[in-house]
Structure 1
Amino acid sequence: MKPAHFALLLSTTVLLAACSSTPNMNSATNMAPVAQAPVQSPQSKPVPSKTAVAPLPAYLDPGNPVSIERSVYFDFDDTTVKKEYFAVVELQGKYLASNPRLNVRIEGNTDERGSAEYNLALGQKRAEAVLRALRVHGVSASQMEAISWGSEKPKAAGHDEGAWSQNRRADVDYPTR
């Protein structure tokens, strides 16, 4: 290697080494800004977080009776709301009346016996019977829609009275959000 090239290479190396020095952390000019924790006096109390968690609506809370008690069951070939389901209707009615922006569907159902047309008509009459009962508790007609599934959405499988009695019902169906 020629002495001129060697001198050039050496001076370049020295120059680069001088430029790439590590910062001195003791120097005030090289220190990064550090956030300091606020000083609290012994008498000051921590400020509570302002983030609020919205409560779960009763109809979405799996432990709430409004979410659990939604079905009214009927006797064979009947559309009369039985006394034993008055409490369910009252519970749902009071909740809906106190939440006028909430809309529900009352879904009428039947067991598998009967023609499709007959079961659709019977399911509709059951849904309308529950709708009228809810109106007694102050629920607006505009909050509710009565529909029928006939025998298309059974709650219980089977071809006996045990299954049929669970399928003869009207359900209050709330929105999922």
Structure 2
Amino acid sequence: MLSSALKQSLTLAVIMAALVGCSSTSTTTDSADADSAVSSAADSSAVDTTDTMADEAVEALDTVFYFDFDKSMLKPEARAALTAHAENLKAAPKAVRLEGHADERGTREYNMALGERRAKAVRDYLVLQGVDASMIETVSYGEEYPAVVGATEAAYEMNRRVEMK
């Protein structure tokens, strides 16, 4: 199972790298726009397009990871997305906050602990992928901030999550 998840993760990473490399920009500008673009580029040497592309790639990835009932084990699709996030965070390090959540079933104390286990599971996976642990903050909200209000299985599924911010 681990090798299957690793293959999926590597495949996703290769696809993301290809997508980032294939991004295009418009090449049609009038001469006034071109002149101002050249002069402003010369004036501001601090512009880094690599960081911008990495930020856009991270924004395109899922930043919410869902869990099964009463579990804190990452699903294969979450691992694949987190592998891509890890690559981007290693290339352009920035602080992230992992917010763990639970559905309303269970006591407040239990759900706070479950949200914490979920957030730490995501953090641990990112650290194993090479992300600096000091750049990751974890917090648990338990059942306090549901994504969907309701007492249906569909609502519960949406509330069992970790959000990356």
Given the two structures, how large is their TM-score scaled by the length of structure 2? Answer: 0.67
Structure-1 residue corresponding to 2:123: 131
1:106 aligns with 2:92: no
- SS of the counterpart of 2:65? strand
1:72 to 51, 56, 65: 65
Structure-1 residue corresponding to 2:159: 167
CA distance in 1 between counterparts of 2:116 and 2:124 reads: 12
Cα–Cα, structure 1 residues 142 and 111, in superposed 2: closer, same or farther, change >3 Å? same
1:1-177 alignment, distance < 5 Å: 48-49=38-39, 50=42, 52=44, 57=52, 64-68=56-60, 69-100=62-93, 102-173=94-165
| Alignment size in residue pairs | 124
Deviation of the 1:136 alpha carbon: 1.7
Give the number of the structure whose residues are more often helix, by fraction. 2
Which structure has more RCO (C-alpha within 8 Å, separation ≥ 6)?
A: 2
- SS of the counterpart of 1:145? strand
- SS of the counterpart of 2:155? helix
Runs (4+) of structure 1 exceeding 2 A deviation are: 50-60
Structure 2: 5+ residue runs without aligned partners?
1-34
CA distance in 2 between counterparts of 1:134 and 1:80 reads: 14
Contact 2:100–2:163 (CA<8 Å) still a contact in 1? yes
Contact 2:54–2:92 (CA<8 Å) still a contact in 1? no
Query: Based on CA coordinates, which of the two structures has the bigger radius of gyration?
Result: 1
Structure 1: 5+ residue runs without aligned partners?
1-45
Deviation of the 1:145 alpha carbon: 1.1
- Percent identity between matched residues is 38
Structure-1 residue corresponding to 2:5: none
Q: Structure 1: which amino acid aligns with 2:99? A: E
Deviation of the 1:71 alpha carbon: 1.3
Q: Structure 2: which amino acid aligns with 1:135? A: V
CA distance in 1 between counterparts of 2:118 and 2:105 reads: 16
Structure-2 residue corresponding to 1:34: none
Q: Structure 2: which amino acid aligns with 1:157? A: V
Deviation of the 1:54 alpha carbon: 6.4
* Residues 50-109 of structure 1: per-residue CA shift (max 9 Å, x gap): 35566584686xxx4522411111000000001121111111111111123x11111100
**Cα RMSD (Å) of the superposition?**
2.2
Contact 1:66–1:92 (CA<8 Å) still a contact in 2? yes
Deviation of the 1:157 alpha carbon: 2.0
